[in-house]
């Protein structure tokens, strides 16, 4: 990972609790490189080699969860988009909108009409 990118990411990371139980935590930068390695190479967390120095797959997976809960990746995404926009490096003509992320506005803002079944007799199926 390049130093320039790390300088953007490091201030966003939540501080590690000083009284956390267990061994000394893996370096944040190395752990993030492990997370990126797993995601980029599409390998399972269990298959992350310890020889690469990223920490165990379990450690990287837990750290990914903590950072996700802290909103690190969402904030980083916003920062990177702002930088690309400022540099005029975004090509919006190639943008695509996924309808699963957009709320559909259907009709009026009144509750749906419910049909009452109280006045009908039940059908005898015996």
Look at residue 16 in the predicted model and tell me its pLDDT. 79
Residue 37 · residue 48 · CB < 8 Å: yes
pLDDT at 119: 67
* Per-residue model confidence (pLDDT) at position 98: 74
Pairwise CA distance, residues 56 & 51, whole Å: 10
How confident is the model at residue 109, as a pLDDT? Answer: 66
Return per-residue pLDDT of the chain as tens, 126 residues: 788 989 989 999 988 777 767 777 788 999 999 999 999 999 999 999 899 989 899 999 999 999 999 999 999 999 999 999 899 888 878 877 777 766 767 665 666 677 766 666 667 776
- What is the per-residue pLDDT for 14? 86
* Separation between Cα atoms, residue 85 and residue 105, nearest integer Å: 29
Cα 19 to Cα 67: distance, rounded to the nearest angstrom: 19
54-74: b (≥16 Cβ within 10 Å) or e: bbbbebbbebbeebeeeebee
Cα–Cα distance for residue pair 50/30, rounded to 1 Å:
12
């Amino acid at each position: 990972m390049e130093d320039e990118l790390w300088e953007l990411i490091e201030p966003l990371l939540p501080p590690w609790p000083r009284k956390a139980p267990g061994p000394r935590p893996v370096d944040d930068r190395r752990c993030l490189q492990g997370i990126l390695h797993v995601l980029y190479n599409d390998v399972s967390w269990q298959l992350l080699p310890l020889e690469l120095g990223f920490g165990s797959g379990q450690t990287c997976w837990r750290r990914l969860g903590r950072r996700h809960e802290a909103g690190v990746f969402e904030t980083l995404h916003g920062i990177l988009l702002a930088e690309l926009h400022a540099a005029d490096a975004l090509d919006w003509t190639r943008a695509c909108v996924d309808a699963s992320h957009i709320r559909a506005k259907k009709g009026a803002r009144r509750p749906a009409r419910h049909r009452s079944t109280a006045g009908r007799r039940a059908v005898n199926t015996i």
